[in-house]
Structure 1
Amino acid sequence: MDKYFKPESCREQGTLYQLKNLVNRRNVSKNVSSNYHAASEFIDLVTDCHVIAACLEYCGMGNLESQCKKIPTALHLADSTVKRRVLRHLVGEIVDTFFLNAITINVDRIEDPASDMDVAPIAQDDAVYNYATNFTKLGLLRKVAVNATRYGDGNRMLRHWKYAMLVYHQGHKIKYRLESFLLLAGVNALLTPRQKHQVIHNRFINLRGGEGHNLDGDYVMELLNRYAKSRIKLLGPNHNETCVERIGKTMMFCHEIQDKLEQQISVAPLSRKHTPQSLHHDRNTIIQQLKNSCVFQLIPGRSHQTFSMENVDIFSNVDVQEVHKWLNQKKREYSFGKNAF
C-alpha cells in the first residue's frame, strides 16, 4: 500500500488506486491500520485478478470462457497424470514469463555480492508492465505468508522471511528488518537444536481445531490482551495489582467454565462463520480493466505518470553492498555476545 496505493494515480488505468475506485471500495484507505481487513481483502482480490489476467494473456484468451490455445486438442482423452503434468508445465511457463523474469538474477546478486559486477541489468522500457508484475510479486509474497500461517507451515514461513527482510530493507522498516535478521540468525546459528525446532514449528496457535485455522502467536496474544482488558474494566475503580494478577492467571480457566456452562444450558455458541459476499462482479470488472489496459503486454515506452521510475523487478534497486554491510555489522554484534532475545 505504501508503494503502489497513491491517490494521484486515480486516472492511470491498472493502478491500485484506480482499481479501488473502479469497484467502489470506499473502506480502503492509505491508512491501513484504520481498516486492515478491508485493505488486505482488496489486495488479495487485486492480486488474484492480476494472476488471472496474466494467464489469459499468456494463453491467448479474451475472457474466462474462451478456449485456451496452449492446451493440446486431445488432452481430454488423457489420464489424470498427463493432465496434471501439462497443467504444471503451463503454470511454470506463466510464472517464469511474468513473475520470475528477473527475480532469480537479483536474488543471486544479493546472495553473492562478488557476482554483482558480472550480472548485466535487464533493460525493460515498459513501466506499466513492470508495475503490474511487481505488484503481483508482492501480493503473492503476502499470500505465501498468509497460507503458511493458516496451515502451520513453519519451514515455508522461514523461507518467506528471507524475502521479507529485503522488502523491509527497501521500505526502511528497520525494526521489522531486525526481526527478520534475528529469526534467520537464530535458527541458523544462535539457537540450540531444540530452540530452533520450537521457533520454526511453534509459531502458530489453533483455537478452533481443524485444518487451515491456525493463527499467528502474536495475533492470539493481542486477542488475549483484549479479553483481559475487558475483564479488568468490569472492576471499575476497585482494581488493584492483586486483582489484575488474579484475572491474568484465571482468565482462560474462567473462559472454559463459561463455555461448558453455556453448553449445559443449551446456549447457542457464537457463530464463527460469515456469509461471504460474492466477488464475481468485482473480479470480472478488474480483470477486464487489466485486459483493456494491456498491463501484461510488453510495450516499450509506456509508463504511469505517478510510477514512471518503476524498475523491472522489486529487488532491482537493492544496494547489495549496503545490505551486506548491515548484515556483517549485526553478525559481529551478536557474535561478541549481544543478547538477541
Structure 2
Amino acid sequence: MLSGFVDHSLNYSYIIMIIYKQFYSLKSAADQGSLYQLRNVVRRVDVQGPEGVTSSYRSHMNFVQDCLDSFVLGACLHMFGMDSLDGVPVNVEIPHFLHLASIEEQYAWLKELGEQLFKTYIKLNEDSLINIQMTDQVSEMDDQELLLAEMYDSRINRYSCTCNKTYKTKGHFKRHLEKEHEWGFALNQDTTNSAMHSKEDHVAVWRASFMKLSLLLRDTEDAYQYGDGDRIFRNVKFEMLCADAAHHTKYRLWLWRMQAYETAILSPRQAVEYKWNCTANTHGGKGKNIPNDNLVETLVQKIKKKLREQGSNITHNSAQRIALSIQIQQELKENTSQVRKRDVQNQLLTETLSLIF
C-alpha cells in the first residue's frame, strides 16, 4: 500500500534534546534542585548536557527519568504532608479498608489523588503562582474610577473639579487632585500586573514545565514501545508546540508533516496503515517496539558493515542485493540462533533426565 512512500515519522529522541537545552545550564550549579546541581549531587559524570545527548543517549535519558521521578515523589510528599517516606500522611486521609476494596475502587482513589497532584504541581494556574492578594487594592481602584467618571462633564468633554478647574486628560486631572486636594491613588493596572508578576513562584514554574515535558517524553516512549498509534499522533500535537517554543524549525516541520500525511494527504486506508505502523518489533514480546527511524538507522549501520566487507569487489548490483536482503538475513540469523539455543536446552534436559533415571 505504501510502496514508494517516504516515511516522515520521527522518533522521540529530539524531546530529550529540547529538555536539556531548556532546563540544563552550567550557570545553575548553585541553584538547589536544578538539573546541573542534581547531576553533581548524584555524580552523574556521564551526563554532559545537550552536547552529549547524541553520544550518550541512554545515560541522559535515564537521568531525566530519575529527575522526573524525584520531582513527582517530592510533590507527593508535600501534598500528603509527609516529612519522609517513612512518615504518616497528614493532609490526606487514607481509607482504613482500602486494601479490602476492589481493584476498580483502589484505582479510582489513586486516580483522584493523581489528578489533584497534576492540577496543583504540574498544571499550574495563575492563582497558585501568585502569593499576594490584590482584592482590597483593586476594590479601591474601582471606587476611585467611579468618582473620576462622575466628575467627567460630557457637555464640555473635560474633567471638572470642585475648585472650578477643568482638565482634558485623566492623567492631568489625577495629578491635580493629588497635588491640590491630597488624593491618594492606588497603583495603576500596569504597576499592579508588574507587582503580581514579580511575586510569581518562578521555581514552581520551572519545575512544572520540566515535569510537563518529561511526562510527555515518558508517555511518547511508552506509546512507541507498545505501538500505540493513537497516543503517538496525539502527542505529536504537543511535541510540535514544544519544538516551536524551543525554535526547532526542523523538528516542527517534521511533526507537522506527520500530521498532514495522517489527516489530509493519505487516503483513509493509507492513513490508518501509516498511523499504526510507526514502530517495528525485531525481537518479539509486548512493549519491545522501536520507532521505524531507529530501525532504519540500525539497518543502515549493518548495510555499511556489509559494504565495507566487500572492499574493492563492491558493485552496484551487490550493494543493491545487500540493501534488499539485510533485514531478511538478520531475521534468519536470529531465528537460527533461537532454534540452536532451544536445541541446546533440550539436549541438556535429556542428558539430565538420563542421569537421573
Q: Normalising to structure 2: TM-score of the pair?
A: 0.66
After TM superposition, give the deviation of residue 190 of structure 1 in Å. 2.4
Tell me, yes or no, if structure 1 residue 8 matches structure 2 residue 27. yes
Who is 2:57 aligned against? 36
| CA–CA distance in structure 2, aligned partners of residues 210 and 267 of structure 1 | 17
After TM superposition, give the deviation of residue 217 of structure 1 in Å. 0.6
| CA–CA distance in structure 2, aligned partners of residues 127 and 260 of structure 1 | 55
Tell me, yes or no, if structure 1 residue 74 matches structure 2 residue 57. no
| CA–CA distance in structure 2, aligned partners of residues 135 and 266 of structure 1 | 45
| CA–CA distance in structure 1, aligned partners of residues 319 and 269 of structure 2 | 34
Who is 2:109 aligned against? 86
Deviation sequence 1:197-223 (CA, Å, 0-9, x none): 012111110111111111101110101
Are the aligned partners of 2:281 and 2:289 in contact in 1 as well (CA < 8 Å)?
A: yes
After TM superposition, give the deviation of residue 54 of structure 1 in Å. 0.7
Q: Which runs of 5+ in 2 are unaligned?
A: 1-19, 127-192, 345-357
Counterparts of residues 225-304 of structure 1 (less than 5 Å): 225-262=300-337
Q: Which amino acid aligns with 2:273?
A: Q
Distance 1:24 1:250, change over 3 A: same
Distance 1:156 1:204, change over 3 A: same
Who is 2:267 aligned against? 192
Who is 1:46 aligned against? 67
* Comparing 135-144 and 59-68, the one that deviates more: 59-68
After TM superposition, give the deviation of residue 65 of structure 1 in Å. 2.0
Are the aligned partners of 1:75 and 1:83 in contact in 2 as well (CA < 8 Å)?
A: no
After TM superposition, give the deviation of residue 165 of structure 1 in Å. 0.7
Are the aligned partners of 2:236 and 2:255 in contact in 1 as well (CA < 8 Å)?
A: yes
* Comparing 12-21 and 62-71, the one that deviates more: 62-71
Give % identity: 28
Distance 1:128 1:189, change over 3 A: same
Q: Normalising to structure 1: TM-score of the pair?
A: 0.69
Tell me, yes or no, if structure 1 residue 60 matches structure 2 residue 135. no
Distance 1:210 1:260, change over 3 A: closer
Distance 1:222 1:38, change over 3 A: same
| CA–CA distance in structure 1, aligned partners of residues 335 and 226 of structure 2 | 28
Distance 1:262 1:139, change over 3 A: closer
Higher relative contact order (CA 8 A, sep 6+): 1
Distance 1:75 1:268, change over 3 A: same
Q: Look at both structures and tell me which one has the larger radius of gyration over its CA atoms.
A: 2
Who is 1:162 aligned against? 237
Distance 1:5 1:138, change over 3 A: same
Q: Which amino acid aligns with 1:142?
A: L
| CA–CA distance in structure 1, aligned partners of residues 305 and 67 of structure 2 | 37
Secondary structure of 1:2's counterpart equals: helix
Secondary structure of 1:3's counterpart equals: helix
| CA–CA distance in structure 2, aligned partners of residues 266 and 220 of structure 1 | 25
Q: Which amino acid aligns with 2:69?
A: D
Who is 1:313 aligned against? none
Which of these residues, 144, 156, 175, is aligned with residue 219 of structure 2? 144
| CA–CA distance in structure 1, aligned partners of residues 326 and 277 of structure 2 | 22
Distance 1:242 1:21, change over 3 A: same
Who is 2:208 aligned against? 133
Q: Which amino acid aligns with 2:56?
A: N
Are the aligned partners of 1:28 and 1:39 in contact in 2 as well (CA < 8 Å)?
A: yes
| CA–CA distance in structure 2, aligned partners of residues 256 and 149 of structure 1 | 21
| CA–CA distance in structure 2, aligned partners of residues 259 and 77 of structure 1 | 45
Deviation sequence 1:152-187 (CA, Å, 0-9, x none): 111111111111111110111111111121222232
| CA–CA distance in structure 1, aligned partners of residues 224 and 89 of structure 2 | 34
Distance 1:127 1:247, change over 3 A: same
| CA–CA distance in structure 2, aligned partners of residues 34 and 268 of structure 1 | 39
Q: Counting helix residues as a fraction of each chain, which structure ranks higher?
A: 2
